[in-house]
Structure 1
Amino acid sequence: MSVSVTTFELENAGAGMSPFRLKDTLSNPDIDAVVLLLQRDYHCRKCRQQVQDVAARYDEFEGENALVVSVLPEPVDQARGWQESYDLPFPLLADPAKQLGDDLDQPSRFGVLGNLHDMIGRMPEALVVDVREDDPTVTYVHKGTSPADRPSIDELLAEARQLS
């Protein structure tokens, strides 16, 4: 990874403050872990299903002192569309420049073509970040190799549970 996870700031179309800054979670005693879900594309059905599945079990994440943050590599208006459709109880960040995904080495496939078109090339990524200390640490990374290659909700909860 080429960036400290504390340095990013992105517009939030979901629950919580906008802009969202990971460093702001450091002072919150109710948050031990941040589960970052880097999505592929606005149109990706697997991405849409993932955020809905997480939302359906969000009380379990809260029970583990975990904040889920989904990052959509799209303009904030498209992120707002997801929020209006799914009423997500967690932050939904817009990253139209795709900078966070690039900084966190979000996987892509099909070389140059895949890098030009997210729906073809960008793959999902999930990270769990320990925010209990002043210097957050990534404790878990899942880099998808296909659009469906994502950790289960139970796996994400188990990773968060290790930090609570």
Structure 2
Amino acid sequence: MSPPLPDVSLPNVGSGPDPFTFGEFVAAENLDFLLVLLQRDYYCTNCRKQVRQVRDRYEEFRSRNAAVVSIVPDSPEEVATWQAQYDLPFPLLADPEATVGDAYDQPVRFGILGKWSDFLGRMPEAVLLDVRDDPEIVWTHSGRSTFDRPSIDDFLDRIDEAQ
């Protein structure tokens, strides 16, 4: 696995700097924690639901000196429609080459059937980073289906436990 903060620059169609780099964002925001949400794809209705849930409770993340970054492995043009529809208060990154997913071992396609359909591929993943000193991964959740996602309360509890 790559270092906890991937050394990439990605288009940000949401709130915050564009282009987006992890190290610069963490330094500029003076964060304690960063929750990275690796979405399945642009079409995923559960992914869309998740970003809206985070939006609705985003102040609870900020009160813990944490930020959320959502990454969609599709084009900036496609991902920008999420921002236009949902007005997200956090970075929403387009990663058509899936570089961050690769960095966090989130495979694009699984097994033999994955060669023919990405339906058996990328599942959602959440990565919580403690970025106070030397960045480290303190928790991950790899979904087994598009429905397998922690709740917002689960995310906030994990941040509280890591403090």
For the criterion TM > 0.5, the same-fold answer is yes
The alignment of Structure 1 onto Structure 2 pairs a total of residues equal to 162
TM-superposition CA deviations, 1:55-79 (whole Å, max 9, x none): 0000100111110000000011111
CA distance in 2, matches of 1:136, 1:42: 29
Structure 2: runs of 5 or more not aligned: none
What is the identity, as a one-letter code, of the residue corresponding to 2:130?
D
Task: Name the Cα RMSD after superposition.
Answer: 1.8
Question: Could you tell which deviates more after superposition, 137-146 or 26-35?
Answer: 26-35
Partner residue, 1:103 = 103
Deviation, structure 1 residue 153 = 0.4
Partner residue, 1:158 = 157
Q: How does 1:74-89 map to 2 (within 5 A)?
A: 74-89=74-89
Partner residue, 1:148 = 147
What is the identity, as a one-letter code, of the residue corresponding to 1:141?
T
Partner residue, 1:60 = 60
TM-superposition CA deviations, 1:27-46 (whole Å, max 9, x none): 24641100000000101000
Q: Kindly tell me: are residues 29 and 89 of structure 1, through their superposed partners in 2, closer, same or farther at Cα, counting changes over 3 Å?
A: closer
Question: Could you tell which deviates more after superposition, 153-162 or 107-116?
Answer: 107-116
Deviation, structure 1 residue 17 = 0.2
Deviation, structure 1 residue 106 = 1.1
| Percent of aligned positions that are identical | 46
Q: How does 1:26-45 map to 2 (within 5 A)?
A: 26-28=26-28, 30-45=30-45
Structure 1: runs of 5 or more not aligned: none
Deviation, structure 1 residue 159 = 1.5
Partner residue, 2:2 = 3
- Displacement over 6 Å in runs of 4+: none
Deviation, structure 1 residue 3 = 0.8
Verify the 8 A CA contact 1:114 1:122 in the aligned structure 2.
no
CA distance in 1, matches of 2:115, 2:62: 35
What is the identity, as a one-letter code, of the residue corresponding to 2:59?
D
CA distance in 2, matches of 1:118, 1:37: 19
Verify the 8 A CA contact 2:17 2:25 in the aligned structure 1.
no
CA distance in 2, matches of 1:69, 1:13: 11
What is the identity, as a one-letter code, of the residue corresponding to 1:62?
R
Partner residue, 1:18 = 18
Question: Could you tell which deviates more after superposition, 115-124 or 2-11?
Answer: 115-124
Deviation, structure 1 residue 104 = 0.7
CA distance in 1, matches of 2:56, 2:45: 16
CA distance in 2, matches of 1:149, 1:140: 16
> Aligned to 1:70, what secondary structure does the other structure show?
strand
